[in-house]
């Protein structure tokens, strides 16, 4: 007998929950305002406004000097094929242009992180324009600089580039 009354009580509770939910749906369908629904709608509108604000914020952009480095001991450390973030340089992919990696000065590493894809732009040196991934760090003596990783002795991109802009994507 006790089991039967507990079962009936359970059914009554389930029915009440269902009736409440059905009433909520009917009210929303008939566009009858309900305090809870309005609150949800208001919070969604606020979230959309915040998303727009985030999208409209200016991206990080810095004028820097660009240089080129090769994965050799004279220009890196004793383990010239491993970058500061632990990535291993595949020389075949580097030579074919499949990887486009840069090192940044330590002051820029405060603005960007390893693994960030950035855009480099230069009017005088368009060969460096495009997307690059930050994988390495330059010596602490350098400020506001990027170092472009190229295959050893590659003269395609070479020199010091004074008009470089680095942008956040």
pTM reported for the whole predicted model? 0.63
Short-list 61, 66, 78, CA closest to 142: 66
- Averaged over 19-39, what is the pLDDT? 55
User: 101 with 149: CB under 8 angstroms?
Assistant: yes
Confidence at residue 40, expressed as pLDDT on a 0 to 100 scale: 40
Q: How many CB atoms lie within 10 A of CB 49?
A: 10
Q: What percent of the chain has pLDDT over 70?
A: 63
Span 108-137, pLDDT tens digits? 999 999 999 999 999 988 888 999 999 999
User: 140 with 30: CB under 8 angstroms?
Assistant: no
Residue 83 sits at the vertex; the CA angle it makes with 78 and 88, to the nearest 5 degrees, is 95
């Amino acid at each position: 007998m006790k089991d039967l009354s507990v079962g009936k009580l359970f059914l009554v509770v389930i029915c009440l929950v269902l009736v409440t939910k059905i009433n909520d749906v009917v009210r929303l369908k008939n566009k009858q305002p309900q305090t809870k629904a309005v609150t949800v709608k208001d919070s969604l509108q606020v979230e959309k406004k915040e998303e727009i604000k985030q999208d409209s914020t200016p991206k990080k952009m810095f004028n820097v000097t660009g240089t080129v480095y090769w994965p050799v001991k004279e220009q890196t450390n004793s383990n010239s094929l491993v970058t500061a973030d632990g990535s291993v340089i595949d020389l075949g992919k580097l030579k074919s242009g499949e990887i486009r990696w840069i090192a940044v000065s330590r002051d820029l590493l405060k603005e960007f992180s390893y693994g960030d894809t950035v855009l480099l732009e230069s009017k005088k040196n368009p060969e460096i324009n495009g997307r690059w991934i930050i994988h390495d760090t330059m010596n602490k003596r350098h400020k506001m600089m990027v170092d472009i990783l190229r295959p050893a002795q590659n003269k395609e991109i070479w020199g010091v580039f004074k008009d470089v802009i680095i942008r956040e994507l």
